[in-house]
Amino acid sequence: MGEIRMSEEGSHASDAGVQTALRRQGAATAPITANHAALQALCLIARLHQVAAEPATLAHQLGLSASDAVGVQDLLLAARLLGLKARRVRSGAERLTLAPLPALALVRAPAGGEDGGGGGGGEGADGAGLHAVVLAQCDGQRVLLQDPGVAGAESGGGRPTIESVPEFTRRWTGELILVSSRASLAGELARFDFSWFIPSLVRHRRLLGEVLLISFMLQLFALVSPLFFQVVMDKVLVHRGLTTLDVLVAGLVVVVVFES
């Protein structure tokens, strides 16, 4: 994976594409209750996968009222309703650079926060009440994320922010909800099929031709040794042709030097 550069002066410029997309998705989201901020985070990721989604519609499909908490199972079911593949995994800070981002990160809500934990209520066995944020990028030192529950229902979600990895992990539970679409999975598979192999062959055809030629010559030289042995038996030993033996020895030396 290529390392993401987020310097002090150029962090906003280097992540401008993702930040702009996140801002647009947040601005386009219909106002929702603070308890459903986790659904809004899922909708942000869905739109990054070119899937139209509205948190209010998802809440209605899930049968959630304005006061109901949104748990991890609700998020997984909502992703399925959108035609996305989602799974809950445990990870560590050292593996965030390897994770397929963007993803949902489950974090601990601030005590007494107005969003009530981003999902509403306390943390349950299925993760109900966990605060979900969009984890967009990680370069090993900093993370780019967006917390839809920060600004509440009025603005449709907070702005993309950059935090240091230690600062983020202090409130991160170590769990991610990885989200992928069928289109993205098909794109990953398409990179390694035969259509990817043919252009590589064409691009390196000269080098490949040289390798094949050398391989062919080595195979021919492999046949020389038994032929030399046959000549030694027929010509040198029978007819005592020492001159022929000298020629064969010189030929064997040339073959050995070429093969080495």
Instruction: Supply the CATH classification number for the domain 11-190.
Output: 3.90.70.10
Q: What is the pLDDT of residue 202?
A: 84
Q: What is the pLDDT of residue 157?
A: 53
Is 29:40 a contact under the CB 8 Å cutoff?
A: yes
Q: What is the pLDDT of residue 192?
A: 58
According to DSSP, residue 91 is labeled: -
Q: What is the pLDDT of residue 48?
A: 83
**Which parts of the chain register pLDDT below 70?**
1-35, 110-130, 150-158, 183-196, 259-260
Q: What is the pLDDT of residue 152?
A: 46
Burial 29-68 (b: 16+ CB within 10 A, else e): beebbbbbbbbbbbbbbbbbbebebbbbbbbeebebeeeb
User: In whole angstroms, what is the distance from residue 129 CA to residue 153 CA?
Assistant: 17
The DSSP bridge partners found for residue 142 are 164
Q: What is the pLDDT of residue 195?
A: 66
Q: Where are the domains of the chain?
A: 11-190, 194-259
